[in-house]
Amino acid sequence: MTYPRHASRHVLATVTNIVTAQLAILDWDDDTNLPFGPRFAAPVTFTDAPAIAADRLADGVGPGTVSITLGPELYPEEQELGGPSSRQDYPIFVDLFQPTYAACTALANDVRDTLLGRFPGTRRHISVVDQTDGDPIDGWTCELSDVEIVRPEVRLPVFWQVVKVTAEVYFPEVQY
């Protein structure tokens, strides 16, 4: 077993894939069946670029944008005294933008509930998937924890909420 190159990318993409799949199941990407209807909500489109730049929307960000980004990863910790198991936390931020407060809150609740494993087929304990071949990385598991919704106090032309989650990744440390 070798340590996967760009491990944080695999972790972020694994969580992103879970969120995007569940929001599609919940019709957030469907103009015709959108929760709240098209008059009050916008269908979601996803980006992995930061959505806010200097307290203003980044170019191209508007109602319906969902920006999923990785915060600064924390240092790995050994889990067993002298053992090969380690844990590394990856903070992930899901920025959500909608034209109405109600739609933004509903979308944030759906993302939160997805990450908490509250919908059928969703779980808090997942395998980290290698994005190059689509298979789980041997020995790499992830627990989604510290899920919370934040409502920033910055005034923007759209409603904005952030779902923060920590991906606690457990993996066998490479011994050379």
pLDDT in tens, 35-53: 877 789 999 999 999 998 8
CATH architecture of structural domain 7-172: 2-Layer Sandwich (3.30)
SS3 16: helix
Checking if the pLDDT of 176 tops 60, the result is no
Q: Which amino acid is at 128?
A: V
Domain spans of the chain?
Answer: 7-172
pLDDT at 35: 84
pLDDT in tens, 49-82: 999 887 788 888 999 999 999 999 887 777 766 5
pLDDT at 81: 60
Distance from C-alpha of 8 to C-alpha of 14, rounded to nearest angstrom: 10
Task: State the pTM of this model.
Answer: 0.91
pLDDT at 94: 98
pLDDT at 175: 59
pLDDT at 56: 84
Distance from C-alpha of 106 to C-alpha of 141, rounded to nearest angstrom: 29
Query: Which of 36-50, 139-153, 155-169 is the least confident region?
Result: 36-50
Task: Give, in order, the Cα–Cα distances in Å from 135 to each of 11, 17, 28, 139, 141.
Answer: 13, 13, 27, 12, 13
Per-residue pLDDT band for 167 (boundaries 50, 70, 90) equals very high
More confident residue, 155 or 103: 103
pLDDT at 2: 65
pLDDT in tens, 10-39: 999 999 999 999 999 999 998 888 887 778
Distance from C-alpha of 95 to C-alpha of 38, rounded to nearest angstrom: 20
pLDDT at 86: 87
pLDDT at 5: 80
